[in-house]
Amino acid sequence: MDCLEGMKQMPAASVDLVVTSPPYNIGIDYGTYDDSLDRDSFITWCQQWAGEVHRLMSDEASFFLNIGAAPADPLLPHQIILALTGGEPGFILQNTFHWIKSISVKTRKGETISAGHFKPINSKRFVNDCHEYLFHLTKTGKVPLERRAAGVEYADKSNIARWGHTGGEDKRCRGNNWFIPYETIVSRDKDRPHPCLLYTSPSPRDRG
């Protein structure tokens, strides 16, 4: 059902985790949803469903919001996050992650390597857009995270003993740049259908 109608049927403070990637308002044909609203209407709609998310979240809950942008409209993700934090529903932006889809880096040996899916664009005005935002929103800005749950090993092992916060463990926080490539596809509808789902994880106290 419509996410707004579905969330209204759920009890307040009953969810500990929300992950969603809503429509980006860039004209994708979803069949039942108009993905080409005017800017004010789209932001208002985002505030409406985000208001229900805020009502459903417990005080310890985290809300991860994935938003991308078209090269010609780079302000949209920032305008949405300002709308969700500047008034109603009143979220606090606790972390900002960058989902890197394609990157070129120079190794310690001086070699330049490229990895990921580089989506070409036909433009003389814009550079290729190789990332999306993942905003971590909470009610208080003080929700603890398992920072090393998705950690990486230290490249310089001497840092394990040098830094007391490691606790002797060869794993550090990955940081806020996450390289997650995806395979090149021929057909979006066939190979990567994306219905823009909203996923909520009920609080343990509400699970059967």
Pairing state of beta strands 15-20 and 57-67?
A: parallel
pLDDT at 27 over 70: no
Q: How far apart are CA 91 and CA 54, in angstroms?
A: 7
Structure confidence at residue 175 as a pLDDT band (50, 70, 90):
very high
CATH says 3-206 is which class?
alpha beta
CA 115 to chain centre: 21
User: Given this model, what pLDDT does residue 50 score?
Assistant: 97
What mean pLDDT do residues 8-36 have? 80
* Three-state secondary structure call for residue 20: strand
The model carries a pTM of 0.83
Which among 18, 65, 54, 23 is positioned nearest to 41, based on CA atoms? 23
What mean pLDDT do residues 4-12 have? 95
**For tokens 């343990």, what's the residue?**
204
State how far the alpha carbon of 182 is from the alpha carbons of 92, 123, 185, in Å: 30, 23, 9
**For tokens 């398992």, what's the residue?**
146
pLDDT at 202 over 80: no
| One-letter identity of residue 162 | R
* Token pair of 40 as six digits: 């004010």
pLDDT at 204 over 80: no
> pLDDT digits over 128-141, tens only?
889 999 999 999 99
Which among 28, 112, 115 is positioned nearest to 70, based on CA atoms? 28
pLDDT at 207 over 50: no
Taken as a whole, the chain contains a residue count of 208
State how far the alpha carbon of 38 is from the alpha carbons of 44, 45, 103, 139, 159, in Å: 10, 11, 33, 29, 51
